[in-house]
Structure 1
Amino acid sequence: MEEKERRIFGISWNVFLLGIVSFLNDMSSEMIIPIMPSYLMEVLDAGKLLSGSVMGAIESMSSLFKVAFGYVSDRFKRRKAFVFAGYALSTLSKGALAFTRHWWDFLLLRAVDRVGKGVRTAPRDALIAESSEKGKTGKSFGFHRMMDTLGAVAGPLIAIGLIELLKDLPAETTYRHIFLLSAVPGAISLLVIILFVKDRGGEVKRKIKGISTLRSRNLQLFLAVVAIGALGRYSYAFTMWKAQELGYSVVQSMAFYALFNLIYALSAYPLGVISDGFGKKRLITLGFGVAALAAVAFAYARDLYTLMAAFVLYGIYIAIEDTIPRAYMADLAKEFEKGTVIGAYHTVFGVFVFPASVIAGWLWSSYSLAYAFIFAAAMNLVAMVLMAFVGE
């Protein structure tokens, strides 16, 4: 079909549009994400362990739904409806955060947002894979993650501007205004999905047949490694708490967070392109090593330069581990089950991300924040070693 063949920047038009959608949605999300740790602790009066657990629970919840909705989208071969529904839930829940009064209603709305992410992620990633040229999935996913993260660069900068603009208002009022305004780019992304994004699942045979990739020992081993690596994936909130522990303000810590997202955005696309030739397994292995270095740098950061190095390494690590495994799973999956297989990866990852942040929160509360990062470094080193046993 003409739309399938149309290309821009070397990728399909559909992948480009999904990149625009993710840019707008992540701009929306990242307007509020940097202020949530302070909002939790200062406005909603949640403690260290509770805050760490809440942030971990939020990041884990979405993954519990990903394999289910990936499977359903495989069965119906209709990705777009799930993508739209997921983004719609997230947009509504972010705006509603302006009206929260307790940590539990904050958690409820964030759970709705994460359910939205769970509904859309596997169908969207399957749609990206189906809209990609054969052998170029790394390039497509790299572009998508780059656009997603450019939104993550823009979001905190917009939030910083709004904080400065509203600086005469009480901090709580400022936070609530930002929550409301975050729904605007999310609403625009919904219009892009409705008007321009096209389904591709119908082009795949409807009949479900063949032996599932999920029965492969190699894939099962990779998912086990993913689980171990996820135990070392502390919430972004811990990096901001580290900056604040060193005496930086909320606005300054948001600037560090913007630096992390800029490094992520600049790295994701070239790393995706490189992975198509260099090998996705080798790049994933390298990513675990970079993750360990980042965690050690955060643990022992005492000055500006070490802290900046930690955020740079963190950006490169997340760019690898948020991009390449998706393309790796898309390559392994058979045509009839791309949503299911990609969803399985997201679900395993998400299930183990929650205890990672609970453990990190407990280590911070009981000992110090440095212990949380040291634990993360150890888990990533174990995952890096175990990757040697995973086949190409």
Structure 2
Amino acid sequence: MKERKIFGINWNVFLLGIVSFLNDMSSEMIAPIVPTYLTDVLGIGKAASGSIMGLIESLSSLFKVLFGYVSDIFRKRKIFVALGYLLSTISKGALAFTRSWWDFLTLRVLDRVGKGIRTAPRDALIAESSEKGKSGKSFGFHRMMDTLGAVAGPLVAIGLLALLKSYPIKTAYRYVFLLSAVPGIVGVLLVLFLVKDKGEEVKKKIKGISALKSRNLRTFLVIVALAALGRYSYAFTLWKAKELGYSVLQGLGFYAVFNAIYALSAYPIGYYSDKVSKKAVITVGFGVAALASLLFAYSKSLPMLLLAFVFYGIYIAIEDTIPRAYMADLAGEFEKGTVIGAYHTVFGIFVFPASVIVGYLWQAYSLKVGFIYAAIINIVAMLLMAFLVKD
């Protein structure tokens, strides 16, 4: 039976893109106000805030290989995708009722657990729903939709904060948290009633040797771990804008610029990676990351800061899209959830120390030193990727 398509994209991939749009709109309604909420409302210090943001970014990945593996065994992806989105939606809305850093951290951990449950099964479902040789296109479309949600989210937040300007800032923030659950709920319903599992169509019989035993793939995962040590939380870019004297609302504007660049870049980058070497695109991505970090480090003017956000958007578009497609291409049909989950887990474990280190460097020295550290890490990763990993 011929697969249904819309705009040249498999129907399942299209639906999952819509779901990610809604979920990310929900997430990004609150993401830009979280750094200020931590420091100004809950009164948490700089190093502690950096550590909390890093922990939040990292925790979800600890669950990704587990649920990727479980979804491979049962050949059921949708139930894990729906459960993961549901947990995240509930946790975001409940932030409206937080009163301490402990409440906040508990709910953000629940959100990351939800992400950990859904990510590898969802990415495996995207890979299984893609035409052979077009995984980059599918993942690029998905990341584009995800990031368009990230563009919409801050803009919705700006509108809500403008409408709520007569309220105390902490009250306005709580209303934004509560309303962020609405698009998430719609996304969960789409998964439950319209998305179809594809796992049953994949042969259960194991053929060949697992890609995880490949020296090339293991070398790549080591480089991923190193590069993750230079992947600081987005919060540091907003703290940089604040350091230069920009307001929270102006910071939301910068964040929207970053996400617009991300959204516009993800699909063409994914499409292009199918035509050329995915390894080459990933390598370039590390170089772009180093450039973005140096721009943030030395930014003193508006044009330079905007340029930093532009390159940061291109970097994240590459590194959040192409490694997934690269891993999906290397994995056997029987292990896509496990292999993609392994990538997410390795990345997640090492991305936590990145924000802790940058937070420490910020407190002990300056944000500039933290960004320079990240640039050096990405330059090393770029060189290792270029010379040690094979196409």
Normalised by the length of structure 2, the TM-score is: 0.99
CA deviations over 1:329-355 (Å, ceiling 9, x no partner): 000000000000000000000000000
Q: Distance in 1 between matches of 2:40 and 2:243?
A: 15
**1:48 equivalent in alignment to 2:46:** yes
| Amino acid corresponding to residue 298 of structure 1 in structure 2 | F
CA deviations over 1:254-304 (Å, ceiling 9, x no partner): 100000000000000000000001210000000000000000000000000
- What is residue 115 of structure 2 aligned with on the other side? 117
Question: Alignment partner of 2:335: what SS?
Answer: helix
Aligned counterpart in structure 1 of residue 103 of structure 2, from 92, 99, 105:
105
| Amino acid corresponding to residue 342 of structure 1 in structure 2 | I
Aligned counterpart in structure 1 of residue 266 of structure 2, from 263, 268, 273:
268
CA deviations over 1:2-45 (Å, ceiling 9, x no partner): 5xx11111110000000000000000000000000000001111
**1:65 equivalent in alignment to 2:63:** yes
**1:144 equivalent in alignment to 2:142:** yes
- What is residue 375 of structure 1 aligned with on the other side? 373
Q: Distance in 1 between matches of 2:137 and 2:219?
A: 25
| Amino acid corresponding to residue 266 of structure 2 in structure 1 | A
Q: Distance in 2 between matches of 1:246 and 1:209?
A: 56
Alpha-carbon shift at residue 113 of structure 1 (Å):
0.3
- What is residue 132 of structure 2 aligned with on the other side? 134
CA deviations over 1:66-124 (Å, ceiling 9, x no partner): 00000000000000000000000000000000011111110110000000000000000
Alpha-carbon shift at residue 211 of structure 1 (Å):
1.6
Q: Distance in 1 between matches of 2:207 and 2:11?
A: 30
After TM superposition, the structure 1 = structure 2 runs for residues 348-367 of structure 1, keeping only pairs within 5 Å, are 348-367=346-365
- What is residue 390 of structure 1 aligned with on the other side? 389
Give the percent of matched residue pairs that are identical in Structure 1 and Structure 2: 73
After TM superposition, the structure 1 = structure 2 runs for residues 182-261 of structure 1, keeping only pairs within 5 Å, are 182-261=180-259
| Amino acid corresponding to residue 182 of structure 1 in structure 2 | S
Aligned counterpart in structure 2 of residue 80 of structure 1, from 55, 69, 78:
78
Aligned counterpart in structure 2 of residue 177 of structure 1, from 153, 175, 178:
175
Alpha-carbon shift at residue 212 of structure 1 (Å):
1.1
Aligned counterpart in structure 2 of residue 325 of structure 1, from 316, 323, 326:
323
Q: Distance in 2 between matches of 1:209 and 1:63?
A: 27
Q: Distance in 2 between matches of 1:142 and 1:314?
A: 17
Q: Distance in 2 between matches of 1:156 and 1:56?
A: 21
- What is residue 160 of structure 1 aligned with on the other side? 158
Q: Distance in 2 between matches of 1:293 and 1:24?
A: 31
- What is residue 25 of structure 2 aligned with on the other side? 27
| Amino acid corresponding to residue 371 of structure 1 in structure 2 | V
CA deviations over 1:106-163 (Å, ceiling 9, x no partner): 0110000000000000000000000000000000000000000000000000000001
Residues matched between the structures, number: 390
Question: Alignment partner of 1:167: what SS?
Answer: coil
- What is residue 334 of structure 1 aligned with on the other side? 332
- What is residue 306 of structure 1 aligned with on the other side? 304
Aligned counterpart in structure 2 of residue 287 of structure 1, from 277, 285, 288:
285
Over aligned residue pairs, what C-alpha RMSD do you find?
A: 0.6
| Amino acid corresponding to residue 300 of structure 1 in structure 2 | Y
Alpha-carbon shift at residue 214 of structure 1 (Å):
0.4
Question: Alignment partner of 2:28: what SS?
Answer: helix
Alpha-carbon shift at residue 208 of structure 1 (Å):
3.6
Question: Alignment partner of 1:335: what SS?
Answer: coil
Alpha-carbon shift at residue 206 of structure 1 (Å):
2.0
Q: Distance in 1 between matches of 2:342 and 2:27?
A: 24
User: Structure 2: any 5+ residue segments left out of the alignment?
Assistant: none
Alpha-carbon shift at residue 357 of structure 1 (Å):
0.2
User: Structure 1: any 5+ residue segments left out of the alignment?
Assistant: none
Q: Distance in 2 between matches of 1:133 and 1:208?
A: 21
| Amino acid corresponding to residue 54 of structure 1 in structure 2 | I
| Amino acid corresponding to residue 225 of structure 1 in structure 2 | I
